[in-house]
Structure formats: structure tokens, C-alpha cells
Structure 1
Amino acid sequence: MANTYHQIYIQLIFAVQGRRSLLKREFRQDFFKVMSSMIQNLGHKSIIVNGVADHVHCFIGLNPDKTISDLVEKLKTSSNHFLKDKNWADGSFSWQKGYGAFSYSKSHVERVYQYILNQEAHHQKITFKDEYMMLLKKFEIEFKDEYLFEFLDDVPL
């Protein structure tokens, strides 16, 4: 009997609603470990989950029997509930609508892993908006500004 063989690597990016810095340093790494377990429990391979106070990067081996949109919806919902249950974020915590999904070949896995691992240092040099725009352009993804994340410089003070 024939089997299905696959190798699908996806980087997911999503942001905290209002780009508020609610993913606090004191619990962030524990939270990212929990998110990694959630990805595994949803039937995918978690390669790395990391980010900064206002957004997260998840690098996964995608199960071809499942959809990216279903994974993101369930991951956002579960992680939102987890943060609230642990009181690690205020009661109004939520993720912004939407996400970025970028595919990579096997030869890029280590480079993407290192990139995600070093998010704090990376964001000392480049803003999230610039990072996200760079990825959209690099992957030649057409977009409309009004449908992008709410970036810090777009939020009224």
C-alpha cells in the first residue's frame, strides 16, 4: 500500500491585538513552549515558536491532511484561552485578525530557525512592520495596506 510523503515548511506570523506588548518577558518562553505543544497536538511538527512582546513566529512542518487556516484559528483560540487562564495577560488579550504564512524548502530550515530564535536581537535593528513588509515583498505576495496588521505607528496615541 502506498504512503504519502511530504515536506512542507511554513512560517506563521501573527500579532497581539492593538500591537500591545502583552507577551511579557517573564512568561514568554514558557508560553511559546505551550504554543509549540499545541501545534504538535493539532497534528503538525513544531520546529520553533518564538517572538517578542507583541507578535509571534511559528515555524512548522505542516501536516498535508490539515489546513493552515484551521491550524491558525485553533492555535490562536487555544493560546488566547491559555494566557487568560494563567493570568499572564490582561483580560482583554486577543490576537489580531489575520496572519502571514510563508513556505520554505528543506535547505532553508536552519536559516529560518536561527532567524526566529533571534527575534529579540533582530527587532533591535528592524521594526515588525518593516520585517513583515520585507517578507511580503520577498515572497512576492500582493497585499492591500488596509488589510495588513495594525502596526504601532498606525495606532493613535
Structure 2
Amino acid sequence: MSATFSQIYIHIIFAVKARDFALQHSWEEELYMYITGIVRNKGQKMLAINGMPDHIHILIGMKPSCCLSDLVREIKKSSGEFIRKHKRTAFKFQWQEGYAAFSCSHSALEKVISYISNQKKHHQRRSFREEYRALLDRYEVDYSEDFLFDF
């Protein structure tokens, strides 16, 4: 009998369109629970989720059968509909196109979970722009300023 064994961890980051500060502290936990439900319903494991008013970080344990771009598309589509349906913002809410995704080793999980859990404290010292560029540089991702999130 054969089986598939895997250990795939992905740190995902995406932002609110036009860098509007739209995610409010008063309902962010409800949004995080909703997104967690999407991830679980797609058969993946939510390990951490947190963010700021202008962006979100998610850490998932992913099965090899999952297509990451399809999962992120579903998370953004469904959570955007959830925010609009429940009228959580005064303007038309949208996530910005694109996302960042970084693989994580099992040995780095605690550090990444702590990083995501402490987003509010972390961003007292560093802007999203600085954070995003630092992650791209750390993971040696080639990028063009023209295609970064709208800052």
C-alpha cells in the first residue's frame, strides 16, 4: 500500500486595495474566524492568522493536492463578499490583486507563528512597505517596484 506524506507550510500575505485602512479591530476576529473556516473547508490547516487594518498574514499547513493560487483566490473572494455583505466598511471593500507566499520549514513554525501573532506590536516599529520588502529580500524573491502592492 502506498501513501503520500508531506509537510508543507506557507506564509501568505495580502493587502486591502488602494491601501485603505479598512479592517477594523472591532470585527477582525470575526473575519479571521470566517477565513479560518474557508481554509478548513478547503481541507487545509490554519496555523496562524492576524493582520493590520491594511493587510493580513496567514500561515497554513497545506496538502500537496491544494493549488495555492486557487486557495488564495477563494479566501479573498469569499472574505471580501463577507465584509461587503455585513457592511463592515463605509466604502466598497476590495482586496488588492496579488499576494505573497513564502514556504516555511517545520523548525521555523514557532517563529513565524509568533511573528504573525505579534503584528500589531511589530508594526509600531515598521511599516507594511518596509515589512513586505524585507520579506521579499530575505527570501531572495526578485521583484519590480512596479508590481509591488500599491503603497
> Which TM class, normalised by the smaller chain length?
over 0.9
Identical aligned residues as a percent: 39
Q: Name 2:70's counterpart in structure 1.
A: 70
Q: Name 2:127's counterpart in structure 1.
A: 127
Q: CA deviation at 1:89?
A: 2.2
Q: Name 2:143's counterpart in structure 1.
A: 143
Q: Name 2:98's counterpart in structure 1.
A: 98
| CA distance in structure 1 between the partners assigned to 2:66 and 2:105 by the alignment | 19
TM-score (norm 2): 0.97
SS, match of residue 98 in structure 1? coil
| CA distance in structure 2 between the partners assigned to 1:75 and 1:90 by the alignment | 21
SS, match of residue 75 in structure 2? helix
Gaps of 5+ in 2: none
SS, match of residue 22 in structure 2? coil
List aligned pairs for 1:2-151, cutoff 5 A: 2-151=2-151
Q: CA deviation at 1:34?
A: 1.2
Number of residue-to-residue matches in the alignment: 151
Q: CA deviation at 1:91?
A: 4.6
| CA distance in structure 2 between the partners assigned to 1:37 and 1:49 by the alignment | 12
Q: RMSD across aligned C-alpha pairs, in angstroms? A: 0.8
Deviations 1:106-146 (A, max 9, x none): 00011100100010010000000000000000000000110
User: Does the 8 A contact of 1:84 with 1:90 survive in 2?
Assistant: no
Q: Which amino acid in the other structure matches residue 142 of structure 1?
A: D
| CA distance in structure 2 between the partners assigned to 1:38 and 1:48 by the alignment | 14
Deviations 1:8-62 (A, max 9, x none): 0000000000111110010012211111111111121111111010100010001
Q: CA deviation at 1:88?
A: 1.2
TM-score (norm 1): 0.94
User: Does the 8 A contact of 1:9 with 1:61 survive in 2?
Assistant: yes
Runs of 4+ in 1 over 3 A off after TM superposition: none
SS, match of residue 66 in structure 1? coil
SS, match of residue 74 in structure 2? helix
Gaps of 5+ in 1: 152-157
